[in-house]
Amino acid sequence: MPDHNATRLNGYYKFHSWIYDSTRWTFLFGRKQLQDFIPFQENDSFRLLEVGCGTGAVIQHLRKHFPNSQLTGLDLSADMLQIARKKVGTDANTFLIQQAFGTDFTSKHNYDVILMSYSLSMVRNQWDAIGEAVSNHLLPGGYFVVLDFWSSKHQWFKQWMRYNHVYMEASTPLVLETDFYQELISVHPAYGGWWNYYYGRWKKH
């Protein structure tokens, strides 16, 4: 059976990939502070998977802060990854994969960190599969780190975001089962409280 959500998002990003970096900085807040929520030191060696890496902006940013890490970016969109590959270049410890993330995700490595930056809110009908896949592919003691939209008091804005495939429903706690415990949830206002975004971190038992 075809994945209609994947088909829809691929079509959406075929156009938006070319304007993504020039427009998303206006509302994808918090990405430049993500390193502060990844519980490793600058020179530590660890494996991180970013699910929904898009144009590679976060991978590129984290590479500067964690030079000894192995960073893998995963995305459905070939158009987004084409841009990401130009940013990453030939870095030997950075990998980009075009594939969905779910229970059928195949990977040679388990990870110390799985990161989702503004991607979990876009896969509302797959939260259970995402939670299971995170559990399957994290090492014991590994971390699930999320930066995403939290909510908004304006219903019209939430509806407009849904039109753009974003569900502002404070989604992350819903995808995790008893394999994890919550280390932090940090909610921050955007544009004086027009909406909120959050950082979350969960540790696998």
Q: What domains can you pick out in the chain, each with its CATH number?
A: 4-204 (3.40.50.150)
CA distance 16 to 2: 22
Neighbours of 184 (CB within 10 A): 12
**In Å, how far are 26, 27, 166 from 154, measured between CA atoms?**
18, 16, 14
Question: What local confidence, expressed as pLDDT, does residue 113 receive?
Answer: 98
Helix (H) or strand (E) holding 198: strand 195-204
Helix (H) or strand (E) holding 9: helix 4-16
| Per-residue pLDDT in tens (0 to 9) along the chain, 205 residues | 335 455 555 555 544 454 556 566 688 899 999 999 999 999 999 999 999 999 999 999 999 999 999 999 999 888 889 999 998 888 899 999 998 887 567 666 789 999 999 998 888 777 778 888 898 899 999 999 999 999 999 999 999 998 888 988 765 555 566 688 899 999 999 999 999 999 999 999 8
CA distance 95 to 80: 14
Query: Within its chain, how far is the Cα of 8 from the centroid?
Result: 18
Strands in 94-98's sheet, in edge-to-edge order, are 94-98, 70-75, 47-51, 111-117, 138-151, 195-204, 180-190
Question: What is the number of H-type helices and E-type strands within the chain?
Answer: 6, 7
CA distance 179 to 165: 28
Question: What local confidence, expressed as pLDDT, does residue 145 receive?
Answer: 96
Contact call for residues 121 and 171 (beta carbons, < 8 A): yes
Amino acid at 157: F
Residues in the chain: 205
**In Å, how far are 122, 146, 155 from 162, measured between CA atoms?**
9, 19, 11
Question: What local confidence, expressed as pLDDT, does residue 2 receive?
Answer: 39
Neighbours of 185 (CB within 10 A): 15
